[in-house]
Structure 1
Amino acid sequence: MSTGRTPVTIVGAGMAGAACAVALRDGGVECRLVDRGRAVGGRMASPQLHGRRVDIGAGYFTVRDDGFAELVEAWEAAGLARPWTDTFGVLAPDADATTTTGPTRWATPGGLRSLVRDVLGAAGPGEIKAESTELTTLPDGIVVLAMPDPQASRLADVPDPVSYDAALTLVAGFENMPLPFENAAFVNAHPVIQFLADDGARRGDSAPVLVAHTTAEFARAHLSDPDSAVAQTVAAVRSVTGLPAPSWTHVHRWTFAKPAQAHDSTFGSVDLANGTVYFAGDQWSPSGPPRVESAWRSGTDAGRAICARLS
């Protein structure tokens, strides 16, 4: 499409950036979507490891937002997402395993990144393509920084920025994987790990692959050399699950894994001499803790606000 206006630049092709791009497209506003990564998804990353996709960032999503629910209905109808579980295990050192219930968690056969690709059009008519580019200066015109506040702060001053917790994600493959819980488990009062997910149960293919997310404190000590954390993380996993040694492992570093706080609006903006900067992402979540759906809502609301401004 062409509007004759300077395109809006969206920096960050995670769920917030993708949702913003769609809102702009639907409003008839041209945009340019850029991301420093080679694939879209951001913290909804699903790389291929040992022949299958594995979710190494966000572990699942929930559905509370009415607008997001409509999108999820379409994903379910297309076989892209499915209800997973409302019950997680609870593990703790020197304690018996228990369970806790909560909202229904949703999972994806093709990995969470597949949902971002679907939002952008997934190679169909009207697909929005992301450029693999890292910007070091702020472009002129309207810019949307759809990313964690510490990263956005490298390009512009974020209003009341929130801090972020780090994490390491360990993926471990086994010959067989008898777990003391079903689907996933919170790990309480442990110095190394805080969440475990049976990726085979999550994806629905029963693959014996376990994903472990570490505590922020442990991650911070190993951000410069995540490989140095593998042995200790594997030992921690085995201590709480009783599993044998894994056949293979993979570790990923998340310097900005999860917002420690949330903004009280769904997006932010500041007017500068050379244009307006909008801020979006899951940290812009006045309704509660950051979630995939809050990233979608943030990007959608920012995009619609830009359309209203330009009209």
Structure 2
Amino acid sequence: MTVDVTVVGGGISGLACARAVRDAGGSVRVIDRGRRPGGRLASRTIEGRPVDLGASYFVVGDDPGFQRVTADWEARGIARPWTDTFSAIDADGAETRKTGPMRWAAPGGLRSLALDLADGLDIESERAVESVAPFRVDGADAGEVVLAMPEPQARRLVDGIPVRPQEWEPVIAVALRWEERRWPADLHGAFVNGDPDVAFVADDGDRRGDGAPVLVVHTTGERAARHLDDPDAAIAPVTAATRGLLRIDVEPVATYAHRWTFARPVRTTGEPFFRSPGLSMCGDAWGESAAVRTAWASGDALGRALAAS
């Protein structure tokens, strides 16, 4: 049976779009190539605990809809305020503390938020879509089609998609575990300036709230681009750089690397979404700034627009 809307991509923007359509009374299905929905809200279970390997945190911002969603997550204990203070570390190790907006995290890993959004939706997982056209997915009737994914991935599925090409930056996320904590308890997270290998470090035990001695390090785009074919090759230089920056005197006991070919858009469109008859797009590249809240708002706004039409 043909549905009103088919969303291709089970990240937060696609799920927000699908929920908006469903909540307005429309029929919708989500197709995702992953085993579980989540997209870049990715957590992987490593040695028995979820580790956030995609988005590092989220900021609520001033969108009333996302504020309501976050308040509900907090009330049910699946999201929590994490910290408003990060460090800034220079390549020579000099550190300063900077206060900003409250960053939020999830005790069960950020993927748990995507799974919550997915609850009750019609989702077809582990399906790789091969082609998309207005109102059609893989040659079959699909209603209004939404591509909730980075533009370079969408362009692989659609001939002549009428949007401007977007540039995206890669990242390799490297999880490092020690037997015990080897860094200050108030580190939280750190932006790294001027290092060729490391751009951001997050204390995963601190943001998850379980105190696990695990760091997740995001590479620079330049380091990631060198290792997209072999992400594990980034582990050694990233580990060495992290140990130097944080003055850790022993090697980690376990490591893991995950590749994100399209981690974040270099710039955003400023538009909330792309809409054309039978084929639309949403995601974090379609707002004012690339962020989790942007992805949710883009999907939610597109879903409401589709439902209204």
User: What is the TM-score normalised by the length of structure 2?
Assistant: 0.93
Query: Residue in 2 aligned with 1:131?
Result: 125
Contact preservation (8 Å) 1:223, 1:253: yes
Query: Residue in 2 aligned with 1:217?
Result: 222
Q: Determine which of 27, 31, 38 is the counterpart of 2:28.
A: 31
Query: Residue in 2 aligned with 1:252?
Result: 258
Q: Which amino acid aligns with 1:86?
A: D
* CA distance in 1 between partners of 2:95 and 2:39 (Å): 33
* CA distance in 1 between partners of 2:155 and 2:2 (Å): 26
* CA distance in 1 between partners of 2:24 and 2:124 (Å): 19
Unaligned runs of 5+ in 2: none
What's the CA shift string for 1:175-218, capped at 9, x where partnerless?
12222551110010000000000000000000000000000011
* CA distance in 1 between partners of 2:198 and 2:83 (Å): 21
Q: Determine which of 166, 172, 177 is the counterpart of 1:168.
A: 172
In structure 2, the residue corresponding to 1:20 is in which secondary structure? helix
Query: Residue in 2 aligned with 1:57?
Result: 54
Contact preservation (8 Å) 2:151, 2:166: yes
Query: Residue in 2 aligned with 1:69?
Result: 67
* CA distance in 2 between partners of 1:281 and 1:187 (Å): 26
Instruction: Map 1:171-210; keep pairs closer than 5 Å.
Output: 171-180=175-184, 182-210=187-215
Q: Which amino acid aligns with 1:208?
A: P
Alpha-carbon distance, 1:228 to partner: 1.4
* CA distance in 2 between partners of 1:193 and 1:241 (Å): 12
In structure 2, the residue corresponding to 1:294 is in which secondary structure? helix
Alpha-carbon distance, 1:232 to partner: 1.0
Q: Which amino acid aligns with 1:248?
A: A
Identity of aligned residues (%): 46
- Cα 1:9–1:199 shift into 2, 3 Å: same
Query: Residue in 2 aligned with 1:235?
Result: 240
Does residue 261 (structure 1) correspond to residue 267 (structure 2)? The answer is: yes
Query: Residue in 2 aligned with 1:112?
Result: 110
* CA distance in 2 between partners of 1:82 and 1:252 (Å): 25
User: What is the TM-score normalised by the length of structure 1?
Assistant: 0.92
Contact preservation (8 Å) 2:93, 2:245: no
* CA distance in 1 between partners of 2:252 and 2:2 (Å): 55
Contact preservation (8 Å) 2:59, 2:101: yes
Q: Which amino acid aligns with 2:222?
A: E
Query: Residue in 1 aligned with 2:276?
Result: 270
* CA distance in 2 between partners of 1:66 and 1:40 (Å): 24
* CA distance in 1 between partners of 2:182 and 2:124 (Å): 41
In structure 2, the residue corresponding to 1:102 is in which secondary structure? strand
Query: Residue in 1 aligned with 2:287?
Result: 285
- Cα 1:247–1:158 shift into 2, 3 Å: farther
